[in-house]
Structure 1
Amino acid sequence: MTRVCLITGGTQGIGRETAELLVSQGWAVIVSGRNIAKGEEVVQAIKSKGGEATFIEADVSDQEAVRALHKKALSIHGRLDGAVNNAGITTDTRMIGDASTEEFEKMWRVNVLGVFWCMQEQIQIMKVQKSGHIVNLASIAGLHGILYSGTYVATKHAVVGMTRTAALEYAQSGIQVAAVAPGAIKTDILNDAIAAGAYSEESIAGMFPMKKMGKPLDIAQAISFLLHSDYATGSILEVDGGLGAA
């Protein structure tokens, strides 16, 4: 039976790389995001190589949209073997004392409530199946403090906490919950932070023992490992060029 995986934020960067990798491993993927054109482009690219993919437009900051997304995803294949909660944003690169409450609330709805609502829907589906893997996208920001990113750091610490707790709560239900904590990966989020002047690419790379930034494929491979593992529930897998060892 072909395994099915839903990927939020799947139209670019880590999400797209994950979709393409999983399809190459025999999965059928459901790619979700807000940008219809990008979503359809990903699906067509996968189908052109003989893969099975579907795009569903959804905004994870809207709980009703999240419910509709999972209802539609389930109607397509009748099951959900894996879920990758990848959708996330960062909109504020100021010190805590200057940070915007409005921007913090916007990030919280996507990065925390979006993951929370998705996990709720996924758990209900997987409880019926008595099986399933959920992989959340955390960050090194969920394990450390980072200058000029206090509000983003708070959202990713929340993701780590939810991941670990859900792993404990559903360990005997056949549901495995884990997360990947990327370091500096060349994605739109990091490029936006660089463009905003908070960092330079050189200064970011210099923070890591390997003195280089990672690629979306590095994270996709870690996600794939967790989706295939039978004994990694509760793990927060750091993929950060050695930073966690320092």
Structure 2
Amino acid sequence: MKTTTISAVAVFAALTSAHSWLGCTDHDNVEILKWMKGNSTLTPPVTIDPLMPWFSNFCKGWPRAKQNPGDWIAESSNYVWNIAANSFNGETGACHPNQRGPNYEGNAPMATARPGGQIRLMFGGNGHSRGSNMPKGDAGNVNVYWKGEPEAEITDISEFTEENKLQSDGFSAESFAYPAGVVSPTEGLQDKGNWQTLNIPQTIIPGRHMFVWVWSYGGAPQWSTCFDVMVQ
């Protein structure tokens, strides 16, 4: 029994070391990305973190139950949803309990979009964009799941299927990280900006659509955030 307990603790420690969640579901990064790139060339470099509350004006849509501005320190424990740890304990919900319905703060509404449009999801790299502290040095994929019709909810991780998968991209496919040639934060890696441009289907029916963003690595889904888009 003692060996089993130690093994479980080791597994959880490994899983929780790499974590992320959606901070914004419709992020305008055009100007702030220019600042991030420009400031990274200063001597010394100045890091801009688009997830900080003073940059919340660049966000036009939020995930479920997200505060605006948010407190990333608090969210790292009471907002993020650890699929691996919770499913180990028999809890297989697709979303954090606070995100199991279309709940939004008054100043943090859901994103809006049109058929065939795009929204840019934003999340933190948290030092993992180049594979640091990741299984086999692979940062994995970010997947978006969707039932394909308005008012339809994904409630359980068993619904993370190929049929329900709308889009899949590399965790770092739209990442800004510097400096070149380093992999981990201990070497000086800065990876504050990670995005995923989500393509809204041309044939989507107008109405509220629920989506689940899932970060998968090591061959399994690990972290999720649930959000809605009002298609007009």
**Length-normalised TM-score, structure 1:** 0.29
Q: Which structure: greater strand fraction?
A: 2
**Length-normalised TM-score, structure 2:** 0.30
Q: Which structure: greater helix fraction?
A: 1
Name the structure, 1 or 2, with higher relative contact order (CA <8 Å, separation 6+): 2
